[in-house]
Amino acid sequence: MGEKGRGWNLGLAGLLTPVTIWLGLFFLIPLLLILAYSFGTSGVYGGITLGFNPGNYLKVFDPLYLQIIGRTFFIAALTTLLCLALGYPLAYFIVFKGYRRRNLLILLVMVPFWTSLLIRAYSWVVILSGNGIANKFLQFIGVTDEPLTLIFTPEAVLMGMVYSYLPFMILPLYASLEKFDTRLKEAAKDLGASRWQTFWRVTFPLSMPGVIAGSILVFIPSAGEFVIPQLLGGSRTVMTGTLIQTQFGAARDWAFGSALSVMLAVLLLAAILFYVRRVGTDKLEGM
Range 90-119, binding another protein (CB under 8 A) = 90, 92-94, 97, 103, 107-112, 114-119
Dihedral pair phi/psi, residue 222, rounded to 5°? -70, -30
Does residue 75 contact residue 159 with C-beta atoms inside 8 Å?
no
Between 30 and 54, whose beta carbon lies closer to another protein?
30
How many Cβ atoms are within 10 Å of 172's Cβ, its own excluded?
22
Between 208 and 268, whose beta carbon lies closer to another protein?
268
Smallest distance, another protein to C-beta of residue 182, A:
15
Distance (Å) of CA 217 to CA 73, 84, 186, 222: 15, 11, 32, 9
Between 158 and 223, whose beta carbon lies closer to another protein?
223
Distance CA 263, CA 148 (A): 37
H or E segment and range at residue 42:
strand 41-42
Interface pattern 222-261 for another protein (x via CB under 8 A):
-xx-xx---x---------x--xx--x-----x--xx--x
Site for another protein in 258-287 (CB under 8 A): 258, 261, 264-265, 268, 272
Among 58, 66, 86, 184, binds another protein (CB under 8 A): 86
Between 16 and 285, whose beta carbon lies closer to another protein?
16
Between 205 and 224, whose beta carbon lies closer to another protein?
224
Distance CA 31, CA 91 (A): 37
Distance CA 287, CA 285 (A): 5
Nearest to 226 by CA among 82, 76, 124: 76
Interface pattern 125-164 for another protein (x via CB under 8 A):
xxx-xxxxx--x--------------------------x-
Site for another protein in 195-224 (CB under 8 A): 195, 216, 220-221, 223-224
